[in-house]
């Protein structure tokens, strides 16, 4: 009755617990490094300036409104100008876009430009010039 129950391998279980804890910590560190890399890659998909200074998409319809989506930040705050007289700050992009014949309204957002034209104006004559103005502006910034 006075027998002692001897626990075999208690020392070795502690060693396995320590090894398992070390492997768990290593896995957590590796996952953290990997997820940080993934988030940085997706927040800056291209560090090269080639795609940043391009127009990513153009939406032209039969209406009098079109939108250019760009790969670089144009402004920190959105601006909408119904005429060149409304440009109270130095906004060279807006001034140049109003210089295009037929453009009557310009909205500049963080990564897009929206133009409205006169009903009588044609996108075929506005589009190439607007595209050039926007690309030149992005390259000069």
Question: Do residues 98 and 106 make contact, with C-beta atoms less than 8 angstroms apart?
Answer: yes
* Helix and strand numbers, DSSP H then E, in the chain: 4, 5
Tokens of 67: 């939108």
pLDDT at 49 over 50: no
Chain CA centroid to CA 34, Å: 21
| 88 SS3 class | coil
Q: Which residue has the higher pLDDT, 93 or 12?
A: 93
Please state the pTM of the whole predicted model. Answer: 0.63
CA atoms within 13 A on the CB side of 55: 18
Residue of 54, 70, 64 lying closest to 123 (CA atoms): 64
- Tell me what the pLDDT averaged over the chain comes to: 82
Dist. CA 123–CA 131, nearest whole Å: 11
pLDDT at 113 over 90: yes
pLDDT value for 34: 83
pLDDT at 94 over 90: yes
């Amino acid at each position: 009755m006075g027998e002692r129950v001897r626990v075999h391998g208690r020392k070795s279980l502690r060693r396995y617990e320590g090894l398992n804890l070390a492997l768990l910590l290593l896995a957590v560190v590796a996952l953290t490094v990997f997820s940080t890399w993934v988030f940085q890659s997706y927040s800056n998909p291209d560090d090269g300036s080639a795609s940043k200074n391009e127009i990513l998409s153009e939406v032209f319809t039969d209406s009098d409104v079109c939108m250019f989506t760009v790969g670089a930040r144009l402004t920190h705050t959105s601006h909408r100008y119904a005429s060149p007289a409304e440009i109270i700050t130095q906004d060279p992009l807006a001034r140049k876009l109003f210089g295009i014949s037929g453009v009557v309204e310009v909205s500049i957002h963080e990564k897009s430009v929206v133009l409205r034209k006169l009903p009588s104006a044609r996108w075929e004559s506005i589009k190439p010039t607007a595209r050039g103005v926007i690309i030149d502006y992005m390259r000069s910034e």
